[in-house]
Structure formats: C-alpha cells, structure tokens
Amino acid sequence: MNSHFWEIPAVSAANEIWLMGIWEMSPGSRKIAQSHEGLRNEFRRALTDVTDEDILSSPYAIYDYKLNLELTSDSELLRFKDELHRRNKKLILDFVPNHMSLDTPLLYTHPECFLRGEQVDKNHFQHSSKLIFAHGRDPYFDGWTDTVQWDFSKPQTLELHLTILLDIAKLCDGVRCDMAMLALADVFFSTHGKQGINYWQELISKVKSKFPDFKFYAEAYWNREYDLQTAGFDGTYDKTLYDRLSHKNGIGVCEHLDANLEFQNKSIRFLENHDEERSAKHFQEESLNFFGLLCFIPGILLYYNGQEMGNKIKLPVQLGKRDKEKTKEPYISYYERIFKILNSRPTIIERTILSYDLYGDGRILAHLLTYANTKELLIWNPMSYELSGKVMLTSPVDFTGELRDQISNSIFPKPSIADLANGFYFKLNANQAQWFIF
C-alpha cells in the first residue's frame, strides 16, 4: 500500500480494515462463474465488455485457507498488519464456516468432515474421488453449485476448523464469518436433517484462549444475532436496521434502537455491503441522512469500498474488473467531511439521548455526543412528514463558531444563549437528519 492509501479519508477514519477475497481461488468455482448465464448478465452491468479473463472464482467458495499469491504473501500481509497496528488499526479477514469450493483439496485429506449424500441431484454432486457430497446451502434455497458443505455433526469438523482459525489468527486480528447462523445446531438440522454440535461456542472459546483479543464478526440473518452474540461473537450484522430504513419504517427503527445496550454495542450497522445494492442507488441521497444516523447510534459502523464515492453499480464478487463510474457530488464531499469528524473522535465518548418538544404529533431521535471540549448533536425525523420543535440541551452552549449542518453542509443563524434556554429549534423534512458540532 503506497502513502496515498493511508490518506484516503475512509481508510484514515477506519479502526479496522476488512480485506475480502484474499484466500486461494478455486478453478472449479471460476469455471462455473464463467459459464453461468445469469451471472454473466450481472457481470455486464458492472463491466460492459466483460471477458472470461475478467471473471474469477467466488471469494466465498474458498479453495484453501492459503493466501492467494497473485495478491500477497504471508510476509507481505504481516508487514501490512504491522503498519495497521502502527496506525492503531486492525486487520480483518474472511472465514467461511459453512462450505468450501467443490474442488477443495480438503475433500481428499479430510473427506470425513464434509456432508455426504446418496445420489447426485440439485443439492449433491459426485467428487472425483467417486464420493457424493452435499453442496453448501441454507434452508430456503437450493445448493450453491460451486461449494461443498461442511458436516457440523462431526467433532472432527470442529477440530479442523480450530486448526484453520489458529493459523488465520497468526495473520490478522479477526475474522468476518460468512453466513454464521448456518453453523448453529438447529439451523444445520433444519437444513440437512442432522443434529449439529455446539460449534460456535466451543470454537470461539478455544481460539480466544490462545488469542484473547481476536475478533469474531458474524454475517447473520433470521433474528439469530442474539444467539450468535451469546455464543461469543464480538459483532453481528444488523440487517433489521437496514431493512427498516429501506422500508422507511422510521418508528420501527426507533423501536429497534431501544434494544439492550450490550446487544446494540455488538450490532454491525451498514447501508451497503457486497451482497446489497449500492446505498447511493438504493437509498439515493437519503443515504446521507441515514449514514449520519449510523454515526451516532451505538454499535459497529461498517462501510464498503466505493460507498464514499457515491458508486451505484453493484459489483458481483466474482468480477476482477469494473467500469469506472463518474465522480458524484454531494457524496464525495459529504463522506470526506464525515470521515474527518469520525477520525477526530476519541475512543471514549459520552452519549446522551435528549428530550424534546414537538409542534405536532410524531417522534424524533436526538443524540448528543460529548468529548473533550466538543459536542455533536444529531436530530433525525423518522416520520413520513415534516416535523418541527425544540430539543432540550443538557447544558448551556455558547456558539462561538458557525452553525453548520454536516449532512447538508448548510449554515444556519447561531442561536443566542437566551434562545437556547427554551431548547434548540429544528425543522426537518421526512427522514431528514441534521448534524451540528459545537
């Protein structure tokens, strides 16, 4: 990484960098991706003149947990990790617990750890060893044809995964665990009809006994986040918040944010990732209001490469190139402004939920962050109509600088101390947020 990399606002503001697709690629997965007509249409949307050379294997059909030498080596990655540590940042890599690529060499060395089948069908395939194995899948869809399913009924699987993770832990500071809920015993049973072992709790506790600060983050759905947190995960995807923002269910968002604080602190908040549409397309300019909200609520903030540029084309994970998108305002200046603020925040911040008076019916969210000599105020209108009113600040404020909304970049007249005695006035459109620093 050259010096410019560290100056990128999104990188500078991050506490952790998640590198996706760093493990050895599968020739079999790549061949399937190159011949899949449905995927080909997705590829063309992101790369107009796509060729087979541009199509790679899925990074979630891992061939082996060895670094892809076309990208990096162990020594290079460790140097990158050391540089991250020097900058008080951590390195996160992928771990896919549910499956491997259908051509993984582990099918020869550890066939007992993979789920067998009786006959070839849409969810099973015959390996070159002549054994029949199950494709990886979830309970609601047919198998992923470029994968083979781990068998979570076998203690040997847990032991092998422990060995893999202890090796991974030497290279990085944590793992993002793909589709983590699929390894839960009851989910494995409902998917494959076999009783699973107590996988996550044992695996996480054994890894942390050797690497106490190693992080486990779960991609999680189907309201299994709490189960995964209690099993030892340091963070779980918050798809509920994403869905409620998507459906403009503002009251549902507020109710969701009333959850237990410990649960919220371990919730990974996002507006986009590699599985979702780009936030600039999905939420359009409301994404700027929603990202402001995510910067204030408890939890772990996740943002995706290209989000800060306002990119609108979703990139298939098998694609090694993409068409360049045009520079987009107001996204670039907005994210530069916001990342600069996030980068200046200390680790310990006092968070206060403020009371308010509305001129009409409804509800708002008003959060105050306090640190050093700085206060940050966010007011968000979750309703589908305009709201106005006053937020009650917890202590007197003397506005000596300009009063600038960090989301819209608009400047407002500074209220006097006398004006503030009755509250901080606001007027917000539906789903609008304002973010002030004083």
The 3 state secondary structure assigned to 219-280 is: CCCCCCHHHHHHCCCCEEECHHHHHHHHCCCHHHHHHHCCCCHHHHHCEEEECCCCCCCCHH
From CA 69, how far away is CA 57, in angstroms rounded?
15
Summarize pLDDT for 30-66 with one digit per residue, the tens.
999 999 998 999 999 999 999 999 999 999 999 999 9
User: pLDDT band at 417, cuts 50/70/90?
Assistant: confident
Q: pLDDT by residue (tens digit) across 56-65?
A: 999 999 999 9
Residue 418: the pLDDT is 81
Mean pLDDT of the chain: 96
Confidence at residue 395, expressed as pLDDT on a 0 to 100 scale: 82
- Span 308-326, mean pLDDT? 96
pLDDT recorded at residue 419: 82
Q: Helix axis angle, 155-168 relative to 199-210, nearest 10°? A: 30
Kindly indicate the confidence band of residue 126, based on its pLDDT and cuts at 50, 70 and 90: very high
Same fold, 3-344 and 350-437: no
Three-state secondary structure of 162-226:
HHHHHHHCCCCCEEEECCHHHHCHHHHHHHHCCCCCCHHHHHHHHHHHHCCCCEEEECCCCCCHH
Greater pLDDT, 30 or 4: 30
* Mean local confidence (pLDDT), 204-220: 99
Kindly tell me if the per-residue pLDDT of 325 is higher than 90. yes
Render pLDDT for 381-409 as a digit per residue (tens, 0 to 9): 999 999 999 999 988 777 767 899 999 99
Q: Reduced to 3 states, what is the DSSP secondary structure of residue 336?
A: helix
What is the distance, to the nearest Å, from the Cα of residue 6 to the centroid of all Cα atoms in its chain? 21
Q: Per residue in 143-179, pLDDT tens?
A: 999 999 999 999 999 999 999 999 999 999 999 999 9
416: burial class by Cβ within 10 Å (0-12, 13-18, 19+)?
exposed
Question: Which tens digit of pLDDT belongs to each residue from 232-243?
Answer: 999 999 999 999
77 sits in which H/E element: helix 74-86
Q: How do the domains of the chain map onto residue ranges?
A: 3-344, 350-437
- The pLDDT of residue 103 is 98
Q: pLDDT, tens digit, for every residue of 283-314?
A: 999 999 999 999 999 999 999 999 999 999 99
350-437: CATH number: 2.60.40.1180
- What does the DSSP assignment read for 33-51? HHH-HHHHHHHHHH-TT--
pLDDT of 266 > 80? The answer is yes
pLDDT score at 397: 79
C-alpha–C-alpha distance, residues 362 and 3, integer Å: 49
- Whether the predicted pLDDT of 116 surpasses 90: yes
Mean pLDDT score, 113-137: 98
Q: What token pair was written down for 177?
A: 């665990």
Confidence of residue 141 (pLDDT cuts 50, 70, 90): very high
81-112 pLDDT, tens digit each:
999 999 999 999 999 999 999 999 999 999 99
pLDDT of residue 327: 83
CATH code assigned to 3-344: 3.20.20.80
Amino acid at 400: T
Q: What sign does the CA torsion over 166, 168, 174, 179 have? A: negative
Distance (Å, whole) CA 141 – CA 358: 47
Neighbour tally for 317: CB within 10 Å? 15
In Å, how far from its chain's centre is CA 91? Answer: 14
- Rounded percentage of the chain residues whose pLDDT exceeds 90: 93
